[in-house]
Chain A
Amino acid sequence: MELCDLSALELRNLLRRKEVSAVEVLDAHLRRIDAVDGRPGTLDSAPLTDEDRRKVHALITRTDARARAQAEAVDRRLAAGEDPGPLAGIPVTVKDIFCVKGTPSTAASRILASFTAPYTATPVERMEAAGAVMIGKVNLDEFTYGSSNESSAFQPAPRNPWNPERVPGGSSGGSAASVAAGEAPLSLGTDTAGSIRQPAAFCGVVGMKPTYGRVSRYGLIAFASSLDCPGPLARSSADAALMLQAIAGPDPRDATSAAVPVPDYLAELEKGVKGMRIGLSPDYFQLTFPDPQTGEIRQQALPEEMRAAVLHAAEVLAGMGAEIIEDVPMPATRYGIPAYFVISRVEAASNLHRYDGVKYGYRTRRKPADLRDLYRKTRAEGFGPQPKLRILMGMYVSAAQYSEQYYNRALKVRAMIRNDFDRAFDPSGKYRLNALLTPTTPTTAFEMDAVYGDSVLMQYADQLTVPANHAGVPGISLPGGIAADGLPVGIQLLGPDFSEAELLRIGRAFEVGTAGEAWRQVKPLVLRER
């Protein structure tokens, strides 16, 4: 067991007992990166080699010098007998969609490749103030637009540590891959339709989307401002709790951060699930997919392995004292993706108008005829196909003649999705759930190149996670087993607004209840070969 295979809490205890130094912890993680990550993502990258196909490629930018200075500062504080903070000496990676002062903050797009952030996002600022050691910025889908990381302008794209021929998921794929491969015990991601939970499920780690407003969006390069949520990825519920504690809470610089007190997540963690009401919904055991020939939308059953993992989790939790409530209706679930196609595109198109080659970022090297020509050439060269798709769809569905038919209707559908959750969680209602237990994804991680290019099929990878974004409620994905293809299966818990402590508590109980199961001992492929 190397230091980089320990949890953040274990590292914290070792550091506080002065059994290791923060620099030693950092060096162990940098050695792991050297061993498994391969070359970082770059623009106009050379073609993939066989060696590349065996590596993880989670990182875009390594910040070794910054990390070393932070680790040395932690060691000095520990030596002086000072409290160095709750995350002191813990290595973290940060999705490259967050501005971090003095670092390239690229959004994995050519249009921001030259941008160095002049300020730091609140969640990163809070982690660093808590003593975290930021070892690098990790790759993602361009502007977070995707569910596989293949759309990054910085190639090679991240690959799944459990099988590098498979995608890590997205858009926080670099975050999930870096945590699964032991490059860092914690990573900061974002979730707009499942972008923390889906890659967490694909890479066999824990990923939490907090309640909308629980964590500040200040310094997050915006995709869909009514849906984006920063949150933690970790290898256990306890580590996710530790990180959420540091980043949660109101921020005067983000008007949509909620003024709700932050509970002590770690103190709540071991309270168990006795008496908790955990629901199962048949609407999360049905999938919707476009027909490959006609494109028409069809319903099909969830694959048996994914279903079995959820039912097993229900059985484990029932054995620990939870009450399982079956047949909870969530009828609007299937409308999550169509509504998301509209709302997210309208907001993305609006947020992408600022990239014009004038104020910062990429500017065309061709000579423009005038200012409008500068915009056109810059945006044509700077954006990849996914941002262009989102801009054009956003403009189409919000056009005056279509907005009632599409945009306003999608907003009403969002309210219907929210009503499903309100009914399920109503403390005086029929179901009175503490949480809803569902699969996180329709399948395990798919092969590289298998879906990329089909923007509709790719979007449906998020169909079981996106309802929580519409409703704003928190959700967590937990490793729930290993499928026959050797890849992790994720299970998801969704709860009422600001119920992160309860979700983490259920997650911890599930981890305790399954600690002895054989699948818990299986390691990702890139670590097995070492």
Chain B
Amino acid sequence: MTDPITPDIFNHLVALAALELDEKEAEYIRRQLNNQLKAIRELEAIPLDAEAEITLHGVRFSPQISQPPRADVWQPYPAPEEILGQVPEVEERLVVVPDIPHTTLE
């Protein structure tokens, strides 16, 4: 049987995911993805409960146990230098990145 995730589909996914893989790594990961799909395909044979309701997570949060939204109030961060200190390249408190590729919208 042909693998559902072909080299072409795989390469497309790798590009979308902003990854680069060497040949050995790509071969291993593509094989694992196709093996995982065999397990995932079990889902297709499950007789679904028509009344099953999709939820954000298992526990149903009623309004009584849900947190109220926080007030939308701007708060200054107490130590912005600590945040800037984590940035790999910074110049005059601005984050430095390489050129941003230009795209012309049609």
> Which residues in A have their C-beta under 8 angstroms from that of B89?
363
Known contacts A212-B58, A415-B53; is-contact A395 B98 (Cβ 8 Å) = no
Q: Please measure, in the bound complex, the distance between the C-alpha atom of A449 and the C-alpha atom of B30, giving whole angstroms.
A: 21
A296 lies within 8 A of B33 (CB): no
Q: Please measure, in the bound complex, the distance between the C-alpha atom of A295 and the C-alpha atom of B3, giving whole angstroms.
A: 13
* Least distance between A519 CB and chain B CB atoms (Å): 34
B24-66 residues with Cβ-Cβ distance < 8 A to A are 25, 28-29, 32-33, 35-36, 38-44, 46, 48-49, 52-59, 61, 64-66
* Least distance between B17 CB and chain A CB atoms (Å): 5
A205 an interface residue at 8 Å Cβ cutoff? Answer: no
A385 an interface residue at 8 Å Cβ cutoff? Answer: yes
B91 an interface residue at 8 Å Cβ cutoff? Answer: no
Chain A interface residue count, CB cutoff 8 Å, equals: 82
* Least distance between B20 CB and chain A CB atoms (Å): 4
A 379-410 binary contact with B (CB < 8 Å = 1; else 0): 11001010011011101110000000110111
| Overall SS of chain A's interface | helix
A371 lies within 8 A of B101 (CB): yes
22 A-B pairs with C-beta separation under 8 A:
A116-B85, A213-B57, A213-B61, A227-B57, A255-B67, A290-B35, A338-B39, A338-B43, A342-B43, A356-B18, A363-B89, A379-B17, A380-B19, A385-B28, A389-B36, A392-B10, A409-B43, A410-B43, A411-B55, A456-B35, A471-B59, A473-B59
The 3 closest A-B pairs by CB, nearest first: A472-B58, A472-B59, A363-B88
List B residues at the A interface (Cβ < 8 Å). 5, 9-10, 13-14, 16-21, 25, 28-29, 32-33, 35-36, 38-44, 46, 48-49, 52-59, 61, 64-67, 69-70, 79, 82-83, 85-89, 95, 97-101
List A residues at the B interface (Cβ < 8 Å). 115-116, 118, 211-213, 226-227, 250, 252, 254-260, 290, 295-297, 335, 337-339, 341-342, 349, 356-363, 368-377, 379-380, 383, 385, 388-389, 391-393, 395-397, 405-406, 408-419, 454-456, 459, 469-473, 497
